[in-house]
Chains A and B, each alone.
Chain A
Amino acid sequence: MQPLTIDGTEDTPKVVLDKERSLFEVSGRSLPEDAAEFYAPLLEWLAEYEKDPKPETPFMFKLEYFNTASSKLILDILSKLESIEGTSVIWYFHEDDEDMEEAGEEFSELVEIPFKFETY
């Protein structure tokens, strides 16, 4: 399965979805004008991955900022991950960023996936 990689910009996150290397990462800033358009390829990739996933899928979010339109799409990604067995989420937040920590906690309450919280 072809990996999906997108370089980060000042308003869109870096994305690495690589089954062979077991890398699943969204990091940086997510404030695109059209969040649905930006996240569509990720959701398509996960739909394909879901057909033959690895036994474990540790999905890493390491976000600095995200807008409210992105939050809805992040929930869509999490909902997709929920249907893939062996998924876990590693939610990174800056050690003094309570809002990002709380955002992770809220997402963890909305889906049935184990969350691990890490600071950077």
Chain B
Amino acid sequence: MKYIYDLHRIMLKQNILLVYEGEFNQEITKSILAMAERNMDSYGESSSIKRKVFNIMVEALQNICKHSQSYQEEIYGKNSAIFMLGKAEHAYYITSGNPLFTREVANLQDRIERINAMDEGQLKEEYKRIIKTNPGELTEKGGAGLGFVDMARKSGNKLRFDFETINQELSFFSLRITVNK
């Protein structure tokens, strides 16, 4: 049973306010958002920081929901992903991790790197460009293709990301967004 204590200590040490691992859907997203709001309220967080964290959490959680297909259930479990909210003295950290097909890695990496290379004005233009394309149409997964751009704009920071190999077909995508206090 020592792992419970170890896990507890890691969470304290890494300033993790909230962790959820498992299946993601809209109901769970709403619960996580409500817990995070209560948590930030209890710290007396300013409403502008709360709103930024909340907004970025929504995009990160809905990204996981949209991409949580069943990837090789027998190997990786059904819709299994992870979400964490951390708080340090000067920042909040929104971290997500989910499996995806390795063949999708290059595209995703390229997209995030292009966003990270943009300054504030370029991000604004990119947002307007995407929102104007194909009016009335969302992506096949119901998104607007604006999530990463929006997270970069709201946070004012670069998106940190990483890919780990799970097996030949699957990789694990980690994403971390920092909101300065």
Query: A-side interface residues toward B, CB under 8 Å?
Result: 10-11, 31-36, 65, 67-69, 71-72, 75-76, 79, 94, 96-99, 106, 109-110
Query: Are B154 and A10 closer than 8 Å at their CB atoms?
Result: no
Name B65's closest neighbour in chain A (CB-CB).
A33
Q: State the majority secondary structure of interface residues on B.
A: helix
> Are A71 and B144 also in contact (CB < 8 A) when A33-B62, A97-B51, A99-B154 are?
yes
- Given the complex of chains A and B, what is the CA–CA distance between A34 and B138 in angstroms? 10
Contacts of B124 in A (CB 8 A): 106
List 24 A-B pairs, Cβ < 8 Å: A10-B30, A10-B34, A11-B26, A11-B30, A31-B62, A33-B26, A35-B138, A65-B55, A65-B58, A67-B58, A67-B59, A68-B144, A68-B147, A68-B150, A71-B144, A72-B146, A75-B131, A96-B47, A96-B48, A99-B51, A99-B52, A99-B154, A106-B124, A110-B132
Considering the complex of A and B, which 6 residue pairs feature the smallest CB-CB distances, nearest first? A68-B146, A33-B26, A72-B144, A68-B144, A69-B144, A68-B150
Contacts of A31 in B (CB 8 A): 58, 62
Query: Are A99 and B135 closer than 8 Å at their CB atoms?
Result: no
Any chain A CB within 8 A of the CB of B54? Answer: yes
- Given the complex of chains A and B, what is the CA–CA distance between A97 and B48 in angstroms? 6
- Given the complex of chains A and B, what is the CA–CA distance between A33 and B128 in angstroms? 22
Enumerate B51-73 residues with CB–CB distance to A below 8 Å. 51-52, 54-55, 58-59, 62, 65
- Given the complex of chains A and B, what is the CA–CA distance between A16 and B135 in angstroms? 24
Any chain A CB within 8 A of the CB of B143? Answer: yes
Contacts of A69 in B (CB 8 A): 62, 138, 142-144
Query: B-side interface residues toward A, CB under 8 Å?
Result: 26, 30, 34, 47-48, 51-52, 54-55, 58-59, 62, 65, 124, 127-128, 131-132, 135-138, 142-144, 146-147, 150, 154
Contacts of A35 in B (CB 8 A): 138, 142, 144
Q: How many A-B residue pairs have CB under 8 A?
A: 69
Contacts of B62 in A (CB 8 A): 31, 33, 67, 69
- Given the complex of chains A and B, what is the CA–CA distance between A11 and B37 in angstroms? 14
> Are A106 and B142 also in contact (CB < 8 A) when A65-B54, A76-B135 are?
no
Query: Are B138 and A72 closer than 8 Å at their CB atoms?
Result: yes
- Given the complex of chains A and B, what is the CA–CA distance between A72 and B149 in angstroms? 14
- Given the complex of chains A and B, what is the CA–CA distance between A86 and B132 in angstroms? 23
- Given the complex of chains A and B, what is the CA–CA distance between A10 and B142 in angstroms? 20
Query: Are B146 and A71 closer than 8 Å at their CB atoms?
Result: yes
- Given the complex of chains A and B, what is the CA–CA distance between A36 and B30 in angstroms? 19
CB distance from B141 to the nearest CB of A (A): 10
Query: Are B65 and A106 closer than 8 Å at their CB atoms?
Result: no
Contacts of A94 in B (CB 8 A): 47
